[in-house]
Each structure stands twice: as C-alpha cells, then as structure tokens.
C-alpha cells in the first residue's frame, strides 16, 4: 500500500471514529459550489479528504499529505510528516482557565515548525488534534493486509 493511501485510510478511519462528518466537517467531495470555488484552486499534494469551513477567509483542508489552513489572510501549509506528534492547543489570550480554553480555542500549534492550524472550537478541534497526533505514521509493507498483525502472517502450523 502506498504511503498516501495508508495516510488517507487512517485519517478517514479516525474522522469516522470521532463522527466528524456529523459535525462541522465535510468530505471534500461533498462540498457545495461556493466552497469548491474557494478550495479547488488551492495548490495541494495528496488526496483531498476533510474540510473544516467557516468562510472563504477561514478554513482548513486535510489531504493525505498535508494540512492546509487559511486564516488571517495567509495560507499555512504543514506536511503531515513534519508534525512529529508535537502539537498543542493554542490558548486564547483572553482566557485564563484550562477548561475555558478547551471550549473556546480554535487553533492547534505545530511546535517543531512553529505554525498554527485552525479548526472550529470544541469537539472538532480535539478530533483534528487526535488526527494530527498520529503523524508521521509507520506505513505497512506492501504485502500486508489492512488490520493484519505481521506476527501472525505466514506462520507455519
């Protein structure tokens, strides 16, 4: 299995675990015409998978290779392999308690590349954090079936 296919499979699996498509997250192929007019011209690598969309000026798209976020008039591109599981919640400056931050935060900071990714506050933000924390992933060898532990393959009885 190719790396980008494995990444797409794991992202969609995790998105379904978090029921993201029942919330404020869209599959790229289910976007409306206005959303497509904004996102289709965006340069990307990999298969376009998930989109968190607030407006033409505030959105995040996850592909099988990168997270692309637009906010503050600037495009932020983070290759998934550069995340290295090193992310944190960005606490809004006007919020003092950790509990309030969990309810109002809408940015994830990628520490090792010093960049941020936007997502809607609440469950969607934490689901995206869980997805991003997976990266980089170990890719199974090409002969291995999905979900099969290699220790139990081709063993003599």
| Range of the structural domain that residue 36 is part of | 3-138
With 0-12 / 13-18 / 19 or more C-beta atoms within 10 angstroms meaning exposed / middle / buried, residue 142 is exposed
Task: Express each pLDDT in 64-88 by its tens digit.
Answer: 999 999 999 999 999 999 999 999 9
Whether pLDDT at 102 is above 80: no
Q: Model-level pTM?
A: 0.84
Res. 92: pLDDT tops 90: no
Domain count, the chain: 1
Tell me: pLDDT of 149 over 80. Answer: no
Of 97, 104, 148, residue with least CA distance to 126 = 104
Three-class SS state of 27: strand
Is residue 151 one of the residues assigned to a domain? Answer: no
Q: Does 152 reside within a domain?
A: no
Does residue 143 lie within any of the structural domains?
no
Q: Is residue 52 part of a domain?
A: yes
Residue 153 lies in a domain: no
| Residue 83 domain flag | yes
Residue 32 domain flag: yes
């Amino acid at each position: 299995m190719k790396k980008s296919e494995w990444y797409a499979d794991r992202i969609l699996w995790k998105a379904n675990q978090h029921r993201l498509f029942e919330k404020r997250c869209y599959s790229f192929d289910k976007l409306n015409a206005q959303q497509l007019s904004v996102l289709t011209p965006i340069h990307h690598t990999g298969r376009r998978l998930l989109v968190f969309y607030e407006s033409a000026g505030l959105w995040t798209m996850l592909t099988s290779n990168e997270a692309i976020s637009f906010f503050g008039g600037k495009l932020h591109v983070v290759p998934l392999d550069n995340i290295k599981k090193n992310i944190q919640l960005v606490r809004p400056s006007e919020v003092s308690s950790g509990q309030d931050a969990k309810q109002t935060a809408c940015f994830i900071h990628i520490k090792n590349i010093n960049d941020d990714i936007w997502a809607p506050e609440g469950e969607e933000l934490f689901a995206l954090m869980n997805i991003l924390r997976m990266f980089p992933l170990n890719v199974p060898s090409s002969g291995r079936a999905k979900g099969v532990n290699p220790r139990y393959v081709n063993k003599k009885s």
